[in-house]
Structure 1
Amino acid sequence: MTTTGTSSSDTTATGAARPGGPGQLAGRTVSRVGFGAMQLERLRGDRRGALALLRRAVELGVDHVDTAHFYGNSFVNGLLREALRPEDGVLVVSKVGADPDPGGRIPLRPAQRPEELRASVEDNLKSLGVDQVPVVNLRRLDSGPGLRAEGDQAVDIDDQLAAMTAMRDEGMIGAIGLSSVTAEGLRRAIPAGIVCVQNAYSLVARDDETMVEMCAAEGIAWVPYFPLGGAFPGIPKVTEEPAVLAAAQSLGSTPSQVGLAWLLQHSPNTLLIPGTADPGHLEANIAVGAITLDEATVASLDAVPSRSADVRIG
């Protein structure tokens, strides 16, 4: 893993072509198609397979990876530590705002207080085996599917940003991102130097369209999670939309590829982090970077109605 080096080329540090072309993240040129590591926890019984999947991702041009210490209670970070090499030039993006809760109804609990954010960064440093985490997303619990902050976990964003900027000043983290944040929260945070926003967003759940535009205007990377919807009951699935199915048939692609390709074309500052534990799905996700949707297809997809992704869990 590395925190240095800048390239404006169309190839990664390993010489691979950038899937989706070049994008910008934390002052670095990265491939617009990255990798979300959360699903690697499914390979807990096949560590060799998990490591091979990560190596294959790098070979295919992935040079930014999304993770968290609470993914598998450090298991996923341990895989990244073992699989990634400095010469790969991979930008690792982690997140704080929740902690592992293996015995809970869901395996996460909120960890929003400033001292918890610092402890979580320290956990990430240890499990990743680095002196600095290049980018750390502050996962708020304001919007999108998932947990909500209550009681002493309902912390003002300004207090959290003070803790994050202090850790950036100390060199523990290289840059600050936000996740599951509202438009108002983003507006308040922009002066702190936000490099990316990770919110639930897809063709069928475009509640945050104003934020997509705000991020584009501010030079902030937009990194949608749950990019195909359907993560929880009550959230529609992109892959079930008739317009998506028709486009996939016309292009000879899968419905998932169409949904991801739409995201890439919808806004130039979008970076994708599709996750998988399957080598075939990894290659299909990377191939999205080479798909171009024509104007008629884009118009048909843009006409798909948006439904809210704001489903509370826990």
Structure 2
Amino acid sequence: MTDTTTTSPTITIGDLTVHRLGFGSMQLTGPGVWGPPKDHDEAIRVLRRSVELGVDFIDTADSYGPYVAEELIAEALAPYPDGVVIATKAGLTRTGPNEWPPVGRPEYLRQEAIQSLRRLELDTIDLFQLHRIDEKVPLEDQVGEPKQLQDEGKIRHIGLSEVSVEQLQEAQKIATIVSVQNLYNLAKRDAEPLLDHAAEHGIAFIPWFPLATGGLAKEGGKLDELAKKHAASPSQLALAWLLHRSPVMVPIPGTSSVAHLEDNMRAADIALSADEVQELEQAV
């Protein structure tokens, strides 16, 4: 990998060591996370530039598009540079823009994992995450199928998305869980019990919606004044706070713009004092 400029610390997920400031691919798709991007060439540039900047953890899902984000990642990056970790998810189907019905049947999860392997042009998926728990399917089946895929060498590690501490503990009775991915950002901290549990047990915590899709970074917003005070953008400040919050935190800000990507990556250069952290948390 060349032109590695990120200064974010690293974390080991299972046996894979990556920088803690990653990239999420959801925003590379069309409106409602549906269909192709408005600017295909810019999406490809974003992915390639992210790796040039030192990003080595890229998060995606079969449902982004659907299938669009995985295909873009392969087009831009395959064959992948050494050390780049690709994480994908299955368990949500798509019936239209902004529609996400959960399906956790084992045969469906297997089908999607195998198709993700093909779309991503991988021999093994580094991190395969159950996108949502399907209440109609026993958890032992939903986690048991990825465990079987892991035993077959099709996936390397297993993660969960949008779960409680209790659900994580139940899943751990079935398979080794190396990561959890829940909604979490400076303005939305309901998942703090899960984050603290993950930190205690060395499980990576991947906050989705880390910038509230730009809501935390908007001009005139609650972070805007503080950001100017610290000579940073609001998004940089929000991401710096996430990195500071816990050593197991792996933010995955997404964007369809190279300029926004480069701005986000500078968050790793911001050191926050305890007073600044408190000021941020009180402001939002």
Q: Same fold (TM over 0.5)?
A: yes
Match of 1:166 among 148, 152, 161: 148
Contact 1:78 1:128 in 2 (8 A): yes
Q: 2:129 matched to 1:137?
A: yes
Give, in angstroms, the shift of residue 158 of structure 1. 2.1
Q: 2:247 matched to 1:268?
A: yes
Q: In structure 2, what is the equivalent of residue 216 of structure 1?
A: 199
Rate the CA distance shift 1:259–1:128 in 2: closer, same or farther, 3 A: same
Q: What SS does the corresponding residue of 2:143 show, helix, strand or coil?
A: helix
Give, in angstroms, the shift of residue 120 of structure 1. 1.3
CA distance, structure 2, for counterparts of residue 122 and residue 227 of structure 1: 29
Contact 2:159 2:180 in 1 (8 A): yes
Q: In structure 1, what is the equivalent of residue 9 of structure 2?
A: 21
Q: In structure 1, what is the equivalent of residue 47 of structure 2?
A: 54
CA distance, structure 2, for counterparts of residue 280 and residue 86 of structure 1: 23
TM-score, normalised on structure 2? 0.89
CA distance, structure 2, for counterparts of residue 78 and residue 140 of structure 1: 22
Q: Percent identity?
A: 38
Pairs within 5 Å for 1:214-293: 214-229=197-212, 237-239=215-217, 244-293=223-272
Pairs within 5 Å for 1:4-83: 13-14=1-2, 16-42=4-30, 44-83=37-76
Q: 2:53 matched to 1:87?
A: no
CA distance, structure 2, for counterparts of residue 83 and residue 238 of structure 1: 29
Give, in angstroms, the shift of residue 301 of structure 1. 2.2
Contact 2:6 2:266 in 1 (8 A): no
Give, in angstroms, the shift of residue 45 of structure 1. 4.5
Q: What SS does the corresponding residue of 1:53 show, helix, strand or coil?
A: helix
Give, in angstroms, the shift of residue 299 of structure 1. 1.4
Pairs within 5 Å for 1:115-154: 115-141=107-133, 149=134, 154=136
Q: What SS does the corresponding residue of 2:272 show, helix, strand or coil?
A: coil
Aligned pair count? 276
Give, in angstroms, the shift of residue 282 of structure 1. 0.2
Between stretches 20-29 and 92-101, larger displacement belongs to 20-29
Contact 1:204 1:304 in 2 (8 A): no
Give, in angstroms, the shift of residue 177 of structure 1. 0.4
Contact 1:203 1:304 in 2 (8 A): no
Deviations 1:79-120 (A, max 9, x none): 11121133343100000111232xx36343322111111111
Query: Structure 1, unaligned stretches of length 5 or more?
Result: 1-12, 142-148, 232-236, 306-314
Where do 4+ consecutive residues of structure 1 move more than 4 Å? 239-243
Q: What SS does the corresponding residue of 1:137 show, helix, strand or coil?
A: strand
Between stretches 59-68 and 80-89, larger displacement belongs to 80-89
Contact 2:70 2:116 in 1 (8 A): yes
CA distance, structure 1, for counterparts of residue 258 and residue 3 of structure 2: 21
Q: In structure 1, what is the equivalent of residue 104 of structure 2?
A: 112
TM-score, normalised on structure 1? 0.81
Contact 1:63 1:88 in 2 (8 A): no
CA distance, structure 2, for counterparts of residue 210 and residue 170 of structure 1: 33
Query: Structure 2, unaligned stretches of length 5 or more?
Result: 31-35
